[in-house]
Structure 1
Amino acid sequence: MNEEQSEQHSAQKLVKQFSDDIVREAPDLLKAVVHFGSTTNTKTKLLGSDIDVLLIVDDLVRVMSPEVIQGFRVIVERVASSISPRFHINTMRITQFWEYARKGDPLLVNILREGMIVFDTGVFATAQKMFKDDMIKPTEEVVFSYLSNAPKILNNAKWHVTRAVMSLYWSMLHSAHAALLAHDIVPHAPQQVGDLIEEYFVEPLEIEEHYLDIYRHLEDFMTHIGKREIMTASPQEYDRMHEKVELFNKKMEELVMRKELKI
């Protein structure tokens, strides 16, 4: 048995233990426990990989109230954490499972293709047989659903870049606050910080004007974002700003240490 096969066997044992424990804890709720992902495939390098598990729960007989959902979540987290930190548990209601199967959703198709049944009341095995018999295929509905999601996800990526720029600004603002406070200067609002840096640090030649320029530039950038005149930053712009904020923060730290050590 090679290393990959040994790791796969180990993962399967962990999933079996998890399945036995979770079925014992919630026998009326579970319809299937399926092991899928990289740890089912000996051709992939999987040392330390997450162990992906799909739980299919019954929402036809049981009312999935917030209390039931929360209680089940607590049980799953407790059982999983007691066995291995590598578990990545995915839960799907049986109605959602069949809706995904009806559409031929790629997320479910991949699990049907490679999933290994650990516990099943006949739900997953039926769908897996239908898939192998070519009865579950991507529909036009799911094709256009994925197509319509693409621009939304792209916009979401842009928003993450925007949030990263905002984090740079707040990082810079915090370090500037620290330097001013160390010199017994208390800004009453963020809008005052730039002027205070100029008055107390640049004009007395404590720091070069270059650092004020860094602050002003990112402050202006944030103003444009707030007015929606700029929606995001390019990766190159973000990298440049990140580098400059690092320099700015180091200089603010120098001002703090100089004051504290009275240099």
Structure 2
Amino acid sequence: MIRGGGLRLPLPLASLLLTALLVPSLVSCAQEGDFGRPAKSAWNGLVETTGTIAARERGLMVSASPLTDDEETLRDRAWRFLMPAQGRAAFEDVLANLTRVRALPTSWRPDDLPAYHDGLLGEGFRSPTSRYRRLSEDATADGRLIPSFTAIAARVFEADAMRLRALPLAKSLDEWDMRQAAMRVAENRCLVAWVRLETGLRVARYRYALEHFLVEMPGREAVPAEQALAFLEGRRRLLDPLLPPETAERCGLADAAAVALAPPVVAKY
């Protein structure tokens, strides 16, 4: 409980109220660094701390143990996939950032398939060619990042297995130490499960945009866009063997129907 002036608030509610007060004044401070990683800033440090507190109060797996270098890298590389592919407003970007660090539950953000399509048509629309090109570039960039994320996730999971094997052999560990280790393992797996879920939803948003572009402004530019989307869909499957399919549900992530990857909609000319 947080006390002040006779007011007693449950910590989850207090955390969300504090977040609501801070967002308007700090909305411009949420920054993205090189290679899609979060920039080092007071804002990003603040929301990381708030997210840990709020997640712990909601019963999610949060460990107080220090992060390994690979765990730090895994969180940096998850940044791109957990932030919106096409942010329509700075406020929405900040809310997505708060969701990423778990200051807000993942269920606050409904699945909005048209968002990417609508954003591309609304941001200074110049020509159909430029919109198809943007879609191709975004899908290709996402696909290129997946193998490195998959590789670092595999290394983290290997280290987690070593961590768990060491637990019964370490005589000096108490119950708290063992709980921290178990929570870190769960935390790592839930992060990867979240990235896998969001990547599938991102593929669906790109597919939605491409299918609508074909009806709204058909043209040969759709062919490379379809090829880029096929490339991303192929790379997305690299995430599947990392974890069992039901991991996202076990982690308490927002309920989301399995993304059905539609067959290619562009015929070869």
Pairwise TM-score range, normalised by the shorter structure: under 0.3
Bigger Rg, structure 1 or 2: 1
Write 1 or 2 for the structure with the bigger share of strand: 1
Asked which structure has the greater RCO (Cα within 8 Å, sep 6+), the reply is 2
- With normalisation by structure 1, the TM-score equals 0.25
- With normalisation by structure 2, the TM-score equals 0.24
